[in-house]
Amino acid sequence: MAKKTLILYYSWSGNTKKMAEKINGEIAGSDIEEVTVADGTFDSDMYKTNDIALDQIQGKEEFPEAQVIDIDFNKYDLILVGSPVWSGYPATPIKSLLEKMKNYKGEVASFFTSAGTNHKAYASHFKEWGNGLNIIGVARDDSEVSDWVKWLNKNYYVK
């Protein structure tokens, strides 16, 4: 039986949104929801946003609340979480999202878009922030995500 999949993503510039929509189109019957933050949380300038995020990561500022519609996460077998990479970390709203998911019993995987930063650090920090969740994998950018979606379709969605 096919697994029920939810795609959650935070996108600052639109790149992660495009990837999330692509994945949604490739996994039949998947649901997709955007994670947002309050207006004014981040700057429109990438470098200023990076500085804000670093202050959050270093504990100088609070992590922003991840705003997402009221979801019963446990009605899904698999949740895919999409994020840009900020200084080797998932975007800071993802930490708040993973905290909201702490009672989720299914599987979690992450995909991310990057301008060439430390991909191994992203995977490590995602797993750290998702401590207690059943994290089954992390994929990056289009090349890996295409192979990853093929693998998911073969192993998870064969009826």
What confidence tens digit (pLDDT) does each residue in 62-110 have? Answer: 999 999 999 999 999 999 999 999 888 999 999 999 999 999 999 999 9
At 158 the pLDDT is 44
pLDDT at 157 over 60: no
User: What whole-number distance in Å separates Cα of residue 87 and Cα of residue 153?
Assistant: 31
Estimate to the nearest angstrom the gap between the alpha carbon of 83 and the chain centroid: 4
Instruction: Quickly state the pLDDT bin for 29 (edges 50, 70, 90).
Output: confident
At 159 the pLDDT is 40
Residue with tokens 């994020």: 83
pTM exceeding the 0.85 threshold for the entire prediction: yes
Residue 99 · residue 130 · CB < 8 Å = no
User: What whole-number distance in Å separates Cα of residue 90 and Cα of residue 87?
Assistant: 8
User: What whole-number distance in Å separates Cα of residue 71 and Cα of residue 98?
Assistant: 13
State in Å, rounded, how far the first CA of the chain is from the last one.
5
pLDDT at 156 over 80: no
- Higher per-residue pLDDT: 94 or 116: 94
The number of CA neighbours under 13 Å toward the Cβ of 25 is 7
pLDDT at 1 over 60: no
Structure tokens at 117: 């930063």
User: What whole-number distance in Å separates Cα of residue 38 and Cα of residue 27?
Assistant: 30
Q: In the chain, how long is the greatest CA-to-CA distance? A: 49
